[in-house]
Amino acid sequence: MVKREGIDVLRRVICYSRPYLGRIALVVCASILVGATDVASAKLVQPLVDKVLQPQDRALIPLVPFFIVLLFAVKGSGKFVQEYCIKTAGALVVQDIRNELYSHCLKLSLGYFNQNTAGNFMSRILNDVGVMQRATADMLVDGIRESVTLVGLLGLAFYNDWKLTSVAFLVLPLAFFPGICVGRRIKKNSKAGQAVLGDLTAILQETFSGMKIIKSFGTEERERDKFMRENRNFYHFIRNVALYDSLSAPIVEVLASIGVAAVFWFGIYRVINGVITLGQLFSFGTAIIMMYVPLRRLIKLNNTAQTVMGAAERVFEILDHHPDITDAPDAFSMGRARGEVVFDHVHFAYDGQTVLEDFSLHVSPGEVVALVGPSGSGKTTIVSLLLRFYDVQKGCVSIDGHDVRKIASESLRRNVALVDQETFLFNDSVSGNIRYGCPDASEEAVRKAAVAAYADQFIRELPAGYDEIIGDRGVRLSGGQRQRLCIARALLMDAPILVLDEATSALDTESETVVQKALGNLMRNRTTFVIAHRLSTICGADKIVVIDNGRVVEMGSHAELMAARGFYHKLYEFQFAGRNGEMASG
């Protein structure tokens, strides 16, 4: 009922249960106990009919309710142990899978995240693993219990009358073929449904993150329609899963009725002919009827297995993806760098499209280098290669003479601090955000960094000061305040190399002035790479590198490049003329 690759997926899921074999052993014991009570119930029908009802023995009647209560008490106790142990074991297994999946995601390269939506990752970590938890627990509980019950009842049936048992099972093979077809359809629709659920999660994530934009453009109706369309699409897959899942039970019921009918037809003749007693027939009939219940559940369990495989395949797709950026076997920790950075004939392409071609640059310790050029010229890619978000295809990027690919990632990150144009802050306290790169920093060090970033004053004005929770992505702060917190975070990290990627691009003039002062404190005695579209903000750089189409077209100080009247001069004049035009029109 399950293909070879499906068995491999299920085996892989079950491997996660090895640390909890003790609980599963209890489940097996409890399942044997539950199965034994079902077999005993069927077996006791014979003495009930032959020794109590037919001879009308009143002395044995008081024992009947005693045995019934005893059987159900034993069965109930077994079911409790079974359900509790397997569900807690299932929860622990899925906790391990979810932890491994999340940890693995953190190791994946930035390029992989750029190719997939955040909603897709969220759906796999939360929804797909949740499906695995629920379905795997059901599979283990029902699979063990029903298998034990089925084997016990089957043994009882053959013990009572092997000929009648053979008649009952003539239709058994027919029950498996519909189960195979139904299971395949369920897996296909379940996996597709989980993919659509990932799209739904992505829409939710975008909606709540971009609520200000949605409100400002008045596109609530459009977003609602998009969500409802995807939600309707998700329903179609869930409906198909429900349809095929619901079909399996009636099919088995009909086939089972044929077997039961054949048993009683043949059995009645055997009773009349004196081959078996009436009690034996009823005992046998009870065993056969009870046998089809676990059989039906086991066939239905195939549907659950297909659901697990659909979700597990999506989870394992991520777990099986190897990170593009990993530490080399001989990677070393370099300690605190001096700050010399060299790009030596670097080539880099995204998906076959060249971004940098034969790019070379030497930056001395403590030097401030500005990277300027049109959008898409490769400025952000340069610093991404320095941070080793990506690896070069040709050439080399080195710090203090060491290829960044040979430096341990942790050591590299300690030596390079990033202040990005996207001021990302966590839903944590102010001090928690400043401490993000140095969680053990003292309160005094946090405040000193905030003072240097010109953030201490507005922090003290917050209701809870440094303990104020600033909301998702720092939504309760202004753009300038968020940027200054990011600068304080970089200051506290105290890395010798600094990357400023459009750090003031989204600020108004007043905020930019304060942030520039904070950046001045941050850049002091550090090798600094500055990416800025506003050329007026980088006039004081030691070296300005002009990039176009992934190549260096000019390099020098502001005065030298203006005197050369080349590409940089044109960019500067264009921006200056644009500003004058705005001022004149105002």
Return the bridge partners of 326, or none: none
104 within domain boundaries: yes
Query: Cα(503)–Cα(341) distance, rounded to whole angstroms?
Result: 21
Show which of 270, 288, 319 is a domain's final residue: 319
Q: Tell me which range, 65-79, 173-187, 419-433, is most confidently predicted by mean pLDDT.
A: 419-433
Cα angle for residues 544, 547, 548 (degrees, 5° grid): 155
Residue 327 has pLDDT above 80, yes or no: yes
pLDDT tens-place string over residues 74-131: 878 887 887 788 778 877 887 888 888 888 888 887 777 777 777 777 778 777 777 7
Residue 174 has pLDDT above 50, yes or no: yes
Same domain, residue pair 379 and 418: yes
Identify the weakest region by mean pLDDT among 127-131, 326-330, 331-335, 582-586: 582-586
Average pLDDT over residues 250-257: 69
- Give the CATH number for residue 262: 1.20.1560.10
What 318-324 contacts at long range (C-beta under 8 Å, 24+ apart), as own/partner pairs, is 318/101, 318/104, 318/105, 318/108, 318/121, 318/124, 319/100, 319/101, 319/104, 321/108, 321/112, 323/107, 323/108, 323/109, 323/112, 324/108, 324/109, 324/111, 324/112, 324/390, 324/391
Q: If we measure between CA atoms, which residue out of 328, 356, 362, 331 comes closest to residue 344?
A: 362
Residue 551 banded pLDDT, cuts 50, 70, 90? confident
Same domain, residue pair 276 and 380: no
329 within domain boundaries: no
Q: Tell me which range, 152-161, 178-187, 197-206, 384-393, is most confidently predicted by mean pLDDT.
A: 384-393
257 within domain boundaries: yes
Q: Tell me which range, 54-58, 101-105, 141-145, is most confidently predicted by mean pLDDT.
A: 101-105
What is the pLDDT at residue 586? 38
332 within domain boundaries: no
326 within domain boundaries: no
324 within domain boundaries: no
Same domain, residue pair 395 and 433: yes
Comparing 583 with 416, the larger pLDDT belongs to 416
pLDDT tens-place string over residues 380-420: 889 989 989 889 989 999 999 999 999 998 899 889 988 88
Q: Give me the domain span that covers residue 545.
A: 341-585
Comparing 495 with 502, the larger pLDDT belongs to 495
Same domain, residue pair 32 and 121: yes
Find out whether 274 and 158 touch, Cβ atoms under 8 Å: no
Show which of 284, 319, 354 is a domain's final residue: 319
284 within domain boundaries: yes
Residue 175 has pLDDT above 60, yes or no: no
325 within domain boundaries: no
Query: Cα(160)–Cα(175) distance, rounded to whole angstroms?
Result: 24
Hey, CA dihedral for 565, 570, 575, 576, is it positive or negative?
A: positive
Hey, CA dihedral for 336, 342, 346, 349, is it positive or negative?
A: positive
What is the pLDDT at residue 509? 57
Show which of 288, 319, 350 is a domain's final residue: 319
Same domain, residue pair 289 and 361: no
- 3-state SS, residue 496: coil
Comparing 42 with 223, the larger pLDDT belongs to 223
pLDDT tens-place string over residues 561-576: 999 988 888 888 887 6
Same domain, residue pair 508 and 414: yes
What is the pLDDT at residue 583? 34
Counted domains in the chain:
2
Q: If we measure between CA atoms, which residue out of 501, 390, 405, 396 comes closest to residue 115?
A: 390
- Give the CATH number for residue 373: 3.40.50.300
Query: Cα(454)–Cα(280) distance, rounded to whole angstroms?
Result: 92
Strands 497-501, 416-419: pairing kind? parallel
Same domain, residue pair 522 and 399: yes
Average pLDDT over residues 229-233: 83
Residue 555 banded pLDDT, cuts 50, 70, 90? very high
What is the pLDDT at residue 295? 72
Residue 288 has pLDDT above 80, yes or no: no
pLDDT tens-place string over residues 530-546: 887 777 678 888 899 99
Average pLDDT over residues 185-192: 72
Comparing 551 with 127, the larger pLDDT belongs to 551
Residue 265 banded pLDDT, cuts 50, 70, 90? confident
Comparing 197 with 229, the larger pLDDT belongs to 229
Looking at residue 406, the DSSP 8-state letter turns out to be G
Average pLDDT over residues 316-325: 84
Same domain, residue pair 451 and 485: yes
Average pLDDT over residues 154-178: 68
Same domain, residue pair 110 and 215: yes
Find out whether 119 and 206 touch, Cβ atoms under 8 Å: yes
Label residues 289-309 b or e (16+ Cβ within 10 Å = b): bbbbbbbbbbbbbbbbbbbbb
Residue 584 banded pLDDT, cuts 50, 70, 90? very low
Same domain, residue pair 259 and 371: no
What is the pLDDT at residue 58? 67
- 3-state SS, residue 4: helix
Average pLDDT over residues 12-31: 79
pTM of the model: 0.67
pLDDT tens-place string over residues 295-315: 777 777 766 777 777 778 888
Looking at residue 544, the DSSP 8-state letter turns out to be E
Same domain, residue pair 311 and 226: yes
Same domain, residue pair 46 and 156: yes
What is the pLDDT at residue 256? 65
